[in-house]
A and B are shown apart, each in its own frame.
Chain A
């Protein structure tokens, strides 16, 4: 099961590993800067240190994931997915809530968000399911699959409510489905039904949203609605990013974070802090690094030795990409505020760990691209 031979080391995807490590280091530096107190206002909080510890754990998990053939993930995918659904159920009934949403599960010594891991279980299981269908399914999907991989998880996530993960899931579902191959007829039918249903669904979604979520949407449509209230996050984020100009204010010289003008500065809005201190030049490097990550992911998909590996690679890459776009789009004021962290950079142990696991799977797929079934 575990093969650590020279061929594996020779084929190891060092680029992906270096990219995510670089992003995490940048993240920890930025967390340090974002949370640093203003002069004379107490001590440096230990967020950066906690993130460093999580990084250690994450790297171990990454190597663990690359050490065995992902065929085992394929074989165990259904039971693991069942466990994932159960965790979502548990969090719904016993989770502790923050900011009106119930996402956390208290494990005694630490609390974690099952939905962070669920997204990976979902990618693995749905990829396995689609590859089992084979190419002769001719672009359709049995109702059973639709319920198990779309309806059930979506209901559970919306109920929490974890709108961010729900949207991600829907996007991943579509991406993987399209990647598998989908008949043009279905696309047309879905598009028509979607257009007709949009007003109703929109209505239901709007009614189901919590007030803070509605406010975010309203603020996105019109940030000037209330520059000190709802639209505050967005306008402050834009000021923070814009004030970085071309070369930035310099590391540890940003002011928006320490002066508390920027909310969620070390989590959801960390990109703004980075952009303030490193300027456009720094942003080019950061976004370029992400570009390498996405390219590498797509290339891994193209080179994967089997369909399940291909689908998993696409799913994971799409996940990183969607998080990246939604998060950066939000801080730039071109997308609504959805509480989604920037992968590898934002503060948050569970998210970091699950992203490293995902990266580990990606590396594993690439590393074993020449291996044959046995």
Chain B
């Protein structure tokens, strides 16, 4: 039964709890009442986010490749208690009145988060709005960080650009802490190192009075500036390349042979990253995407073609290492060889006469390399090509690379279901037929030859903490010496196919190549049917520092079209380095005097 005692207990509980509530009311309304009254009168919280300045991207010589520029937007702190004269506001900021009203009356608007009305204001607009701001309580201008690219199209494929977050990005965890419409890296290094460059946005919570004036700072979190990124590329080298290419399409990749640092990576035609920051118009975007010359394609990584005679470097190394030739082996070139009903010609129809290895490389004799290829067989060529870094992505993480292709008997059996023919070995040994490479692969192959057999992972960061060696190939130093001599002869000896690339600044070695375009053999003319020109180079040839590959789309012959570009790029790099060395020498005069003493002390 419910006893009287229990009812009394209930009464006690009720009374006690009500007393607690009354006491709390006394505290809030009487003791602290004045304070709360004050707060309710000033009660207008506003959150302003202050974006972090984005890290700067520098080239290897400390030249800033990007600039942070102010980016103005106009916001309104919309107080539902006040009617806004949207007609006047519309004429002031130059946005559609309907559009403003939609933004103001969105259901999910929060009374303490400002509403953006327009972004990317010009200086004139900012001045006009500031002057009349007092007519519109709660209206204010916020400065965000925008980006400009002083070098424009140069290096655009490496540097990339910023753009508004895409809906997919906004939904992904990597961007979850960013406010919508934030500019984030969308291409190139800007995208690759976005997290590092971005920094951490700060914020201010302020209380504003009835007129929207700042009343008190409630809380502030300073923004943390993004970290800078120092790239391995040399922007002056890139400029020299771009200039040298002129209207031609193509790509150039230069690597530092001991570290894998990318010194230059140019793909032309290029695009202007500046047109993306303010939000590219869909018409402009359409134009870029539909451009027949494909400016948005990174040819250095994404175009693959037969390497032509540059591949003879691989054939020569394989021949020497496998012992099927010696430096003294000679082949008589009569302008071509016959095999069955086919004839495989040398580019020099009258023939080279008796050819040894040195002359074969220097003058790019096809017949000599047919013979080497015949003695090796395709599978041994395959082995060396792969070991030198061809036929697979190089691992530069800028964007998805194409893999290229090095054929083998197995490949043909699996992919084509056919046997391999000797004629195909002939074609392959001079880099035609099935063989396909990307410009960056060819640069990596050249760097591997230059550094004595280490296939490095290319990187865009200057002075990488660790040099990543993907694989190593043992090549006899005698083989390397012979091949390098040959490459030097191509540029520096009479009869060399790239005599035009001889430089007075630095001794360059190289190899020309021409990728045949189907159609030319059928007698078609015009640029569309011109061959693609290749050139690979290393410099200085005696103690290589730089290795590069040049690819010129429909450029014609490698010697005339591609080699001069390589020369200009290499000269730009070494001129830059010389200038820099001079600076450090004069700058380091004082510490320099110290070092002998230090040595003595040790």
Residues of A within 8 A of B (CB): 38-41, 135, 178-181, 227-228, 236, 238-246, 255-256, 258-261, 275-276, 279-280, 283-284, 287, 290-291, 294-295, 298, 301-302, 307, 310-311, 314, 317-318, 321, 325, 328-329, 332, 334
Contact A280:B40 (CB < 8 A) given known A41-B81, A135-B1, A328-B21 = no
| From B1, B32, B219, contact of A242 by CB (8 A) | B32
Q: Are B25 and A239 in contact (CB under 8 A)?
A: no
Which residues from A are CB-within-8-Å of B36?
Answer: 238-243, 245
| From A243, A307, A321, A334, contact of B39 by CB (8 A) | A243
10 residue pairs A–B, Cβ–Cβ below 8 Å: A227-B205, A238-B28, A244-B33, A256-B43, A260-B80, A260-B81, A283-B25, A302-B7, A321-B17, A329-B21
B9-35 toward A: CB 8 Å interface, digit per residue (1/0)?
Answer: 011001101101110111011101111
Q: Are B22 and A287 in contact (CB under 8 A)?
A: yes
Which residues from B are CB-within-8-Å of A283?
Answer: 22, 25, 29
Contact A301:B2 (CB < 8 A) given known A260-B80, A295-B11 = yes
Contact A243:B24 (CB < 8 A) given known A256-B43, A295-B11 = no
B4 interfacial contact with A, CB 8 Å: yes
In the complex, residue of chain B having the shortest beta-carbon distance to the beta carbon of A299: B7
- The CA-CA distance from A146 to B212 in the complex, in Å, is 59
B47 interfacial contact with A, CB 8 Å: yes
Q: Are A280 and B218 in contact (CB under 8 A)?
A: no
Q: Are A41 and B33 in contact (CB under 8 A)?
A: no
Which residues from B are CB-within-8-Å of A246?
Answer: 29-30, 33
Q: Are B2 and A239 in contact (CB under 8 A)?
A: no
Contact A332:B28 (CB < 8 A) given known A181-B1, A227-B205 = yes
Q: Within the complex, what minimum Cβ distance (angstroms) separates A73 from chain B?
A: 18
- The CA-CA distance from A228 to B29 in the complex, in Å, is 22
- The CA-CA distance from A303 to B537 in the complex, in Å, is 107
The list of the 7 closest CB pairs from A to B, nearest first, reads A242-B36, A38-B81, A243-B40, A245-B33, A242-B28, A243-B37, A280-B29
| From A135, A227, A318, A325, contact of B219 by CB (8 A) | A227
Q: Are B18 and A291 in contact (CB under 8 A)?
A: yes
Which label, helix, strand, loop or mixed, suits the secondary structure of the A interface? helix
Which residues from A are CB-within-8-Å of B40?
Answer: 239-240, 242-243, 255-256, 261, 276
Q: Are A243 and B33 in contact (CB under 8 A)?
A: yes
Which residues from A are CB-within-8-Å of B21?
Answer: 287, 325, 328-329, 332
Which residues from B are CB-within-8-Å of A317?
Answer: 10
Q: Are B14 and A291 in contact (CB under 8 A)?
A: yes
In the complex, residue of chain A having the shortest beta-carbon distance to the beta carbon of B43: A261
- The CA-CA distance from A276 to B43 in the complex, in Å, is 14
- The CA-CA distance from A314 to B522 in the complex, in Å, is 103
Which residues from A are CB-within-8-Å of B219?
Answer: 227
Q: Are A178 and B6 in contact (CB under 8 A)?
A: yes
In the complex, residue of chain B having the shortest beta-carbon distance to the beta carbon of A317: B10
List which B297-329 residues lie within 8 A (CB) of chain A.
none
List which B22-77 residues lie within 8 A (CB) of chain A.
22, 24-26, 28-30, 32-37, 39-41, 43, 45, 47
Q: Are B47 and A228 in contact (CB under 8 A)?
A: yes
In the complex, residue of chain A having the shortest beta-carbon distance to the beta carbon of B111: A260
B576 interfacial contact with A, CB 8 Å: no
- The CA-CA distance from A310 to B4 in the complex, in Å, is 11
- The CA-CA distance from A243 to B30 in the complex, in Å, is 9
Most buried by B among A242, A275, A283, A307: A242
Q: Are A275 and B30 in contact (CB under 8 A)?
A: no
In the complex, residue of chain B having the shortest beta-carbon distance to the beta carbon of A310: B2
Which residues from A are CB-within-8-Å of B7?
Answer: 298, 301-302
Please name 4 further chain A to chain B contacts, defined as beta carbons within 8 Å, in addition to the given A227-B205, A307-B1, sorted by A numbering: A41-B80, A242-B37, A245-B34, A283-B22
| From B28, B35, B81, B83, contact of A241 by CB (8 A) | B28
Which residues from B are CB-within-8-Å of A298?
Answer: 7, 10-11, 14
Q: Please count the residue pairs between chain A and chain B whose beta carbons lie under 8 angstroms apart in the complex.
A: 134
Which residues from A are CB-within-8-Å of B20?
Answer: 334
Which residues from B are CB-within-8-Å of A180?
Answer: 2
Q: Are B29 and A275 in contact (CB under 8 A)?
A: yes
In the complex, residue of chain A having the shortest beta-carbon distance to the beta carbon of B40: A243
- The CA-CA distance from A178 to B35 in the complex, in Å, is 44
B529 interfacial contact with A, CB 8 Å: no
Q: Within the complex, what minimum Cβ distance (angstroms) separates A179 from chain B?
A: 5
Which residues from B are CB-within-8-Å of A280?
Answer: 25-26, 29-30
Contact A245:B29 (CB < 8 A) given known A256-B40, A287-B22, A291-B14 = yes
B344 interfacial contact with A, CB 8 Å: no
Which residues from B are CB-within-8-Å of A39?
Answer: 81
Q: Are B26 and A259 in contact (CB under 8 A)?
A: no
Q: Are A294 and B14 in contact (CB under 8 A)?
A: yes
| From A261, A302, A332, contact of B25 by CB (8 A) | A332
Q: Are B29 and A242 in contact (CB under 8 A)?
A: yes
Which residues from B are CB-within-8-Å of A302?
Answer: 2, 4, 7
Q: Are B81 and A259 in contact (CB under 8 A)?
A: yes
- The CA-CA distance from A246 to B36 in the complex, in Å, is 12
B112 interfacial contact with A, CB 8 Å: yes
B424 interfacial contact with A, CB 8 Å: no
List which B312-359 residues lie within 8 A (CB) of chain A.
none
Which residues from B are CB-within-8-Å of A311?
Answer: 2
In the complex, residue of chain B having the shortest beta-carbon distance to the beta carbon of A243: B40
Q: Are A295 and B111 in contact (CB under 8 A)?
A: no
- The CA-CA distance from A328 to B33 in the complex, in Å, is 18
B379 interfacial contact with A, CB 8 Å: no
- The CA-CA distance from A39 to B33 in the complex, in Å, is 26
In the complex, residue of chain A having the shortest beta-carbon distance to the beta carbon of B15: A291
- The CA-CA distance from A227 to B46 in the complex, in Å, is 11
Q: Within the complex, what minimum Cβ distance (angstroms) separates B209 from chain A?
A: 13
Which residues from A are CB-within-8-Å of B25?
Answer: 241, 275, 280, 283, 287, 332
Q: Are B80 and A228 in contact (CB under 8 A)?
A: no
Q: Within the complex, what minimum Cβ distance (angstroms) separates B164 from chain A?
A: 25
Which residues from B are CB-within-8-Å of A287?
Answer: 18, 21-22, 25
Q: Are B35 and A41 in contact (CB under 8 A)?
A: no
Which residues from B are CB-within-8-Å of A135?
Answer: 1
Contact A334:B29 (CB < 8 A) given known A228-B112, A241-B36, A259-B81 = no
Which residues from B are CB-within-8-Å of A242?
Answer: 28-29, 32-33, 35-37, 39-40
Q: Are A259 and B111 in contact (CB under 8 A)?
A: yes
In the complex, residue of chain B having the shortest beta-carbon distance to the beta carbon of A40: B83
Q: Are A321 and B14 in contact (CB under 8 A)?
A: yes
Contact A259:B79 (CB < 8 A) given known A239-B40, A301-B7, A302-B7 = yes
- The CA-CA distance from A8 to B334 in the complex, in Å, is 131
Contact A279:B205 (CB < 8 A) given known A243-B40, A310-B2 = no
- The CA-CA distance from A31 to B81 in the complex, in Å, is 18
In the complex, residue of chain B having the shortest beta-carbon distance to the beta carbon of A242: B36
| From A38, A178, A240, A318, contact of B80 by CB (8 A) | A38
In the complex, residue of chain B having the shortest beta-carbon distance to the beta carbon of A322: B17
Which residues from B are CB-within-8-Å of A260?
Answer: 80-81, 111
- The CA-CA distance from A258 to B21 in the complex, in Å, is 26
- The CA-CA distance from A228 to B48 in the complex, in Å, is 12
Which residues from B are CB-within-8-Å of A279?
Answer: 29
Which residues from B are CB-within-8-Å of A239?
Answer: 36, 39-40, 43
- The CA-CA distance from A318 to B17 in the complex, in Å, is 13
- The CA-CA distance from A221 to B35 in the complex, in Å, is 22
- The CA-CA distance from A255 to B26 in the complex, in Å, is 21
- The CA-CA distance from A316 to B1 in the complex, in Å, is 17
Q: Are B83 and A41 in contact (CB under 8 A)?
A: yes
